[in-house]
Amino acid sequence: MWAQPDTDTAGAGAPGPESYDAIIVGAGLAGLSAALSLPSAWRVALLLKQDWQASASNLAQGGIAAVLDPTDSVAEHVADTLTAGAGCCHAEHTQGILSQAAQAIAWLRQAGVPFSEENGQLHLTREGGHGKRRIVHAADATGQAVMATLWPLLRQRPHLTLLQQHAAIDLIVGTDQTAQRHCQGILAMDLQQGRRVALHARHVVLATGGSGQLYPRTSNPASATGDGQAMAWRAGCQLLDLEFIQFHPTGLAAPDRSSGSSSLPASHPGAVLAASAQTGQTPLMTEALRGEGALLRLPDGTRFMPAYDTRAELAPRDIVARAIYQEMQSHQLPGVLLDISHRSPDFLAEHFPNILATCRAHGIEPEREPIPVAPLAHYACGGILTDLRGRTQLPGLYAIGECARTGLHGANRLASNSLLECIVLGQAAAQDMMAGARPSSPWPDQSQPPGLPGRPSSRPAPPWDDSRCLQARAQLQQHMWQGAGILRQPASMAGARAALDALHTEFHAAGRAEAPTLAWLELRNLLDLACLTLDAALARRSSCGAHALAA
């Protein structure tokens, strides 16, 4: 059964609170966009587990979608987004976000982001699902260029407090004179000093990123453990569309020769290059490669995408990922081949320097041979329900970026819409906070937060140490791959859900440390989110976008 949670509150053993005008949890593009849009006189705390370079924004390769070509239109961009989203996008929110794309690009250019140009104009590339060239990019490392430009600007803010090596534990929730619940701050763990701290603020912004670490093979950094989603849910916020996990079609799949994994079945994530032990993240082969003519082939050179979709390699990500997966299953392959060797070496060096460097580090020469690729967990299309200002159901709490669900992505994110959403919603949340009105919610208040799995009444065992937490994390990832992978079966989903429920119960039965470690905190969030994701998947009885049921 799901019982009332044992949540942290403001006075739960923490030192005296520190107060700010706003607390932003996460330092990817969404968090930076919000912070840079707030008045420089505000006391703002930026909370992050590691550093800004350990963010999905910094890893983003392809670019930012924006209508800048005179032959293109916002209406066409919206139509492409709605098509990719498989009928599950919020049409009004989609129009509202995409209509601000040109303004977002102008803001970044004014900040000094060095986007790629051709003949003195921004170079626009094309990616899967887009009917026109509308992807603004900085070679093949757009996220890195954007973040490296914005981060120094943020550090110039005189009243910014940077709290690195701080992990958020839970939201601090109180009630006002009318008994309405509202967010008052964050209870966090200072990982360096091993102590809990209570951070109070009038406004709290969750910009914590995605949840790729639910899976054994992901493009996400090791810190992408669904922290914001889990904390918001424990505080009473609704999570929506969690079943729509987008698998990127082309993660690098070079053989892991050190582990002898080539003997594993092709469906096993260890059969290809798994995440590195240091980062928990696998390199992507950007979708822009296919936008510039790369073809997907079987080992014998046969193209297969035309048999799956008339758009072939430029079909939306969910279609391409499923096609690759099905070919891998049919032929017992550890991956397929992405071939761009027909483009000139000079072209590849100019447009894809980082891709070339990554491939060469694994003994691959894309100018002369195809790149081995396989799908991997990439993007959470769902998350914390918000409006177009980033407001959640809990007054005073905002969610922006990948942890939020604005409705832009629907059942399958259109390529290069995510960085755009980070900028637009980050700025919108800042403007809403600056409006000066009492923190409010666009939805009726919920009187009680949702329940968490109950703890046994007997005396708990000692809390799990880091070794046991990491072991359980690997078990969770295998259950998620088997139950909520690229192609899903009801029996597999139900089996994975039961196994996760048992793991969840065992975890909570072990009790809670007074000074929890990062491994413990992240496992707690992953367990909550994994169970909720499988519940959402089981509730959706038919295929839709990234939620694909096997025939």
Residues with catalytic roles: 317
DSSP 243-269: T-EEEEEEEE----TTTTGGGS-TTSG
Per residue in 506-533, is it b (16+ CB within 10 Å) or e — as a string? ebbebeeeeebbbbbbbbbbbbbbbbbb
Residue 242 sits at φ, ψ, to 5 deg, of -65, -25
Environment class of 350 (CB within 10 Å of its CB; exposed 0-12, middle 13-18, buried 19+): middle
In sequence order, what are the residues at sequence separation of 6 or more whose Cβ sits closer than 8 angstroms to the Cβ of residue 145?
113, 114, 115, 138, 139
295 vs 301: CA distance, rounded Å = 10
DSSP 73-117: -HHHHHHHHHHHTTT-S-HHHHHHHHTTHHHHHHHHHHHT----E
- Whether residue 239 contacts residue 232, with contact meaning beta carbons closer than 8 Å, is answered with yes
The type of residue at 138 is A
407 vs 240: CA distance, rounded Å = 9
- Whether residue 166 contacts residue 190, with contact meaning beta carbons closer than 8 Å, is answered with yes
Tell me which residue has tokens 């996460």: 26
Which segments of 156-304 does DSSP mark as H helices, in order?
227-234, 288-291
Residue 161 host element (H or E): strand 160-164
Side-chain half-sphere CA neighbours of 447 within 13 A: 1
351 vs 18: CA distance, rounded Å = 47
Q: What sign does the CA torsion over 476, 478, 480, 483 have?
A: negative
- Whether residue 56 contacts residue 93, with contact meaning beta carbons closer than 8 Å, is answered with no
**Of 160, 142, 230, which is closest to residue 423 (Cα–Cα)?**
142
φ/ψ region of 398 (left if φ > 0, alpha if ψ in -120 to 50, else beta) reads beta
Residue 140 corresponds to which tokens in the numbers above?
Answer: 């093949």
In degrees, to the nearest 5, what angle opens at C-alpha 409 toward C-alphas 406 and 413?
150
